[in-house]
Amino acid sequence: MKFRRSEAKEFARTNMTGIWAAALMPFNDDLSINEKGFRKNLRHWVDELGIDGIFIAGKQSEFFSMSLPERKRSMEIVVDEVGSKAGVIASCSDQNMDVVIELAQHAQSIGAPYIVVHAPVLHFLHGRDETLYQYYKTISEKVDIGIAMWSHEDSGYLMSPELCARIAELPNIVAIKYSVPREMYTRLTRLVGDKIHVSTASEEEWFDNIVELGWKLYLCSSPPYLFQTAIDKRMREYTDLAFAGEVAKAKVIRDSLNPVRQAFKRTRPAEKPPAHSKYWQELMGQVGGRVRPPMLELTEAEKEATRVAFETCGLKVPGAAKKPSAA
């Protein structure tokens, strides 16, 4: 442990900053975890792209298709491969509270400094604030490491800013991934001040949130490694400029990524985000691989449309990386 439970907020305020990325998990043709390929991606993301932290075992990783041992192993791989060079936040989200706590305690035991827990689906309830407060309080009392809340419409509701601010008073609640309309996360930011980090997964909103809301943490999705290469690190560049107060320069660079954003969105089939992201990875020279059922694979026509858009979007890619990786 790098800090005591009572020190979690202070530790996160200083160390849980910058660009974090939600990891896609590459699967082999037999749908087993491609550990070698995943480690290769992790090294690239941290060593070459300068990503500050890795979010593991979340929706991008297809955690819902993983066994409990696989989820634990995925956390271990990240801590082992890049834990000494980057932050690690492990998703312990599950409908079963015992599973959440088991994963949380495992993350702590292997040296992960943070976990993130998605708000659960709550059937039949018309009021839920006290239930959710007690949910996060229970988890908070079971581990000493930092905890991030996670509110997304996938739960069937959104946690209110006022409820999140109340939960933020717990000693080791350090952040929230708040996938909500901007007016909601703006209100929460003002309610909590610097008590916890407030963030959202939208890369398109990240620059404005640094400048207008004083955010220090992007938590997070896959753009940090889908919109950047070893020779084209514009997200890193505009982030660092914005942090330094060079807003005009940062905005020019941020806006220059619009063709990349548009190409990615335009070619992403509504039912196939994981497969599309993984194929985009392969075009960049990263290890993408299969998706697990019930996720759907891209058709050849969808791959071709994605390849054409990728090659004309203006992202600078080392020459050999434009062909899908077989690693």
CATH number at residue 153: 3.20.20.70
Q: Does any domain span residue 299?
A: yes
Q: Which residues are within 8 A (CB) of 231 and not within 5 positions of it... i.e. 6 or more apart?
A: 316, 317, 318
What is the pLDDT confidence band of residue 292, given thresholds at 50, 70 and 90? very high
pLDDT at residue 193, rounded to an integer: 96
> Are residues 108 and 144 in contact, defined by beta-carbon separation less than 8 angstroms?
yes
Q: Is 176 contained in some domain?
A: yes
Q: Does 322 have pLDDT greater than 70?
A: no
Residue 321: what pLDDT? 52
Q: What integer is the mean pLDDT of 81-104?
A: 98
* Helical axes 97-110 vs 129-142, angle rounded to 10°: 30
For residue 4, pLDDT over 70 is answered with yes
**CB-based contacts of 97: which residues, under 8 Å, 6+ apart?**
135, 138
Least confident of 42-56, 124-138, 274-288, 308-322: 308-322
Q: What is the dihedral of CA 36, 92, 205, 259, to 10 degrees?
A: 30
- Spatial contact of 114 and 148, defined as CB atoms under 8 Å apart: yes
- Residue 324's pLDDT is 58
The answer to whether residue 325 scores a pLDDT higher than 50 is no
Q: Per-residue pLDDT averaged across 197-208, rounded?
A: 98
User: Structure pTM?
Assistant: 0.96
Output the pLDDT for position 323: 54
Nearest in space to 117 (alpha carbons), one of 158, 80, 82, 89: 89
**Rounded average pLDDT over 126-142:** 97
Average pLDDT taken over every residue of the chain:
96
Does the pLDDT of residue 327 top 50, yes or no?
A: no
* CA 40/CA 321 separation, integer angstroms: 14
Nearest by Cα to 213 from 248, 183, 176:
183
User: Can you give the pLDDT at residue 124?
Assistant: 85
Q: Is the pLDDT of residue 128 over 90?
A: yes
Whether residue 327 lies inside any domain: the answer is: no
Q: Say how far apart CA 219 and CA 148 lie, in whole Å.
A: 10
Residue 199: both structure tokens together: 């963030």
Residue 160 has pLDDT above 60, yes or no: yes
Q: What is the mean pLDDT of residues 195-201?
A: 98
Domain span at 211: 5-322
Q: What is the pLDDT of residue 126?
A: 86
* Percentage of the chain exceeding pLDDT 90: 95
- The answer on pLDDT for 240 being more than 50 is yes
| Domain count within the chain | 1
